[in-house]
A and B are shown apart, each in its own frame.
Chain A
Amino acid sequence: MDNREIKKDFPILENRKITYLDSGATTQKPIQVINAIKEYYEHNNANPHRGAYSLSVEATQIYEDTRTKIAKFINARNREEIIFSKNATESLNLIAYSYGLDNLKPNDEVVLSIMEHHSNLVPWQKVCKQTESKLNYMYINSNFEISDKEIENKITDKTKIVGITHVSNVLGTINSVKKIIKLAHKKGAVVVVDASQSIQHMQIDVQDLDADFLVFSGHKMLAPLGIGVLYGKKELLNKMTPFLMGGDMIEYVYEQETTFAPLPNKFEAGTQNVEGVIGLGAAIDYIQKIGYNRIQEIEKELVSYARKELSKLDFLTLYMTPNEENHSGVISFNINGVHPHDVASILDSENVCIRSGNHCAQPLMRFLGIDSTCRASFYLYNTKEDVDNLVKALNKAYEMFKKYIIRR
């Protein structure tokens, strides 16, 4: 899987002597993305959609060309179906407020999976309370997967919205999104797919999935922080009311009334993060240059190796599916009897960067009967040596705590 030439594209991995295993939180950025942003500020910066001068026209062109690029990247039918936001969280709030609030009625049901990130959960709690609809959950089985039976039991004729993460940010489980969408549509519900942990690893085709809404953050797929995407089917987006009000999303503004701009501007109020959009475009170019086939090849080998090596450590509890083909980029684990924050601090002293905590998934933690986990997450620049460093550091952490651990 020799990916050393890929790693060289990431200056921070050369500049800092670290084992970076927190790409699930945010990926590092390749020089191509960094340069694209620099190039934009050195040659093309102006406020898009505003000026009549050529510099502003150019900025508009680059901004809108990237929208087209993203539409092609996820195979959206229309470029107007791509809305820029600041991150997946904002995209999900937009859907909850502009679609959920207006369409849910008392006793309707919203169905989520128990493994949702707070961003695809807390907005729905608020909307359900306000509309007096019910919030139900699809739970996981002992394999950390949602069974077909659970899907069929929970998605009913009363279900109007289903929210599902494509890949769990804690468990790495790949959910049967296509199956869920098919069933939901049969019952007359729309489906919101959170692709924040999948789009960096696998090809997304919104038409093949038949997703009604799909969201992701740029910064988890090599792009800068602060840029996100909302995909929505045109017929749905057209019927929805705007989320944020302000400049550029309007048509006519009178003292007491306003008419709104057509898609996509209707959902893009105020000056947008053009730098982020440019960076996201460059990130997509980079991913396409490497190719999803290669990315999958690197990651499958890496995840498989990590599963095998971590399974050898008998002081660990692993929270992962036994079905390797359903497991993507993240592995959660605990050293039995040692708190994840202590493990993360000790790993940090070995320059191994992992995440520890509840991963913005408290309901999942509660369901698993734990407070928190350690999480190592991988991306295309990671190597087997990174896994070896992780294992070595975990052994050190265990050695430090061993004599104090009370077996509970």
Chain B
Amino acid sequence: MEDLTDVYNELIMEHSMNSYNKKKLEKADYTEIGHNPNCGDEITLEMKMNGNIIEDMAFIGHGCAISQASTSIMIDTLKGKTIEEAKEIIKTFIEMIKREITDEKELEKLEDAIAFKNVANMPARVKCALLAWHTVEGILNGK
């Protein structure tokens, strides 16, 4: 395996252990639970919309560093985006983790979420990185 600090980097560690996005929203329009039954990772994602724009998001839950950081960084990335932009970013993130996109230029729209690129080298942890993204997909596809 490659150097682990590629995955357990400063940004991911900070978000996983002390996330400012880990809280409850005062008023959420959508709530969705995501879980990986085999590892016990579980998150509850809340979303507040303003028209077509994701105004605010937050989460509570528990799980490994990768699942928790991925949720927190996803929230940073998707906040303020339109539904269409968000869907595009989610698609790109999933494709990056599945190694279907490697072009750095295309990955730029992921902002900080690009930090998870090396999870693609850890097949056992792909599920952890994708948990939040599949959960938010559930909200957006239901709309």
Q: Is B113 an interface residue (CB 8 A)?
A: no
Asked whether A342 lies within 8 Å of B39 as measured between CB atoms, the reply is: no
**Contact A404:B14 (CB < 8 A) given known A339-B63, A345-B125, A372-B39:** yes
Asked whether B17 lies within 8 Å of A406 as measured between CB atoms, the reply is: yes
**Chain B residues in 8 Å Cβ range of A342:** 8, 64-66
Asked whether A371 lies within 8 Å of B40 as measured between CB atoms, the reply is: yes
**Chain A residues in 8 Å Cβ range of B124:** 345, 348
Assembled-state Cα–Cα distance A357/B40 (Å): 7
**Chain B residues in 8 Å Cβ range of A341:** 39, 63-64, 66, 125, 128
**Chain A residues in 8 Å Cβ range of B122:** 345
**Chain B residues in 8 Å Cβ range of A357:** 38-40
**Chain A residues in 8 Å Cβ range of B102:** none
Partner of B40, one of A349, A372, A406: A372
Asked whether A371 lies within 8 Å of B4 as measured between CB atoms, the reply is: no
**Chain A residues in 8 Å Cβ range of B7:** 345
Q: Which of A6-27 contact B (CB under 8 A)?
A: none
Assembled-state Cα–Cα distance A345/B125 (Å): 8
Shortest C-beta distance, B130 to chain A (Å), equals 14
**Chain A residues in 8 Å Cβ range of B62:** 371
**Chain B residues in 8 Å Cβ range of A209:** none
How many chain B residues have a CB neighbour from A under 8 Å?
22
Q: Is B54 an interface residue (CB 8 A)?
A: no
Asked whether A348 lies within 8 Å of B17 as measured between CB atoms, the reply is: no
User: Which residue from chain B places its CB closest to the CB of A362 in the assembled complex?
Assistant: B40
Partner of A345, one of B4, B17, B18: B4
Scoring B residues 19 to 41 as 1 if CB is less than 8 Å from chain A, else 0, what string do you get?
00000000000000000001110
Asked whether A358 lies within 8 Å of B1 as measured between CB atoms, the reply is: no
Q: Is B60 an interface residue (CB 8 A)?
A: no
Shortest C-beta distance, B51 to chain A (Å), equals 37
Asked whether A406 lies within 8 Å of B64 as measured between CB atoms, the reply is: no
Asked whether B13 lies within 8 Å of A406 as measured between CB atoms, the reply is: no
**Chain A residues in 8 Å Cβ range of B70:** none
Assembled-state Cα–Cα distance A222/B143 (Å): 53
Asked whether A400 lies within 8 Å of B40 as measured between CB atoms, the reply is: no
Scoring B residues 100 to 143 as 1 if CB is less than 8 Å from chain A, else 0, what string do you get?
00000000000000000000001011001000000000000000
Asked whether B17 lies within 8 Å of A404 as measured between CB atoms, the reply is: yes
**Contact A348:B1 (CB < 8 A) given known A342-B66, A357-B39:** yes
Give me 18 other A-B pairs in contact (C-beta within 8 A), A340-B64, A341-B39, A349-B4 excluded.
A338-B65, A339-B64, A341-B66, A342-B8, A345-B124, A348-B124, A357-B38, A357-B39, A371-B62, A371-B63, A372-B39, A400-B4, A401-B17, A404-B13, A404-B14, A404-B16, A405-B17, A406-B18
Can you show 9 pairs from A to B with CB atoms below 8 A apart?
A341-B66, A342-B65, A345-B7, A345-B124, A346-B4, A348-B1, A356-B39, A404-B17, A404-B18
